[in-house]
Copies of this chain bind each other. A is one copy, B any other.
């Protein structure tokens, strides 16, 4: 197909499975890697091997890190009583980059979806309800995407937690249909500052 040999073909095929890379950009990436063997290809291979061994989901919040409990959950300074609920780890990272939130997170691992048969037990919702009590949470901030499924999920969780805690959601600045991970840090900061009661 490409005039190269099997290992290089394999590498192109694997790279093409990454989100954001198609077959053509995978081929260009592989040629770039081969040209930058010492600076990029070897370090990337080594780091991928390390991450393949060490990466794990935090047992408490679902964040991805290299220990059983992630750095944020371990940090006593972040036991502020505020818990920010996000759909996935990319959203948690986007919130962290904005630097405005000082509490802890809870990663649901998706949204409720009748169509895809995703119920509360397919998400990290039971664990969320436990944490609100065990970590003495006073405010749950819903930072779910402004999509139908995201908002359905927020309302379901709000129903479960009603009267136990203050419930807020990101407000001003999150565009309709917008996904957190695609917003700039300033927008996220503004949305968090202007959060409102559900």
Contact = CB atoms under 8 A, between A and B. Distances in A.
A interface majority secondary structure: helix
A160 interface: no
A11 to B, nearest CB: 5
Interface residues of A, number: 63
A47 B4 contact: no
Interface in A8-51: 8, 10-11, 14-15, 17-21, 24-25, 27-34, 36-37, 40-51
A32 B18 contact: yes
Given A1-B96, A20-B25, A41-B52, 4 more contacts: A3-B105, A4-B64, A33-B48, A42-B49
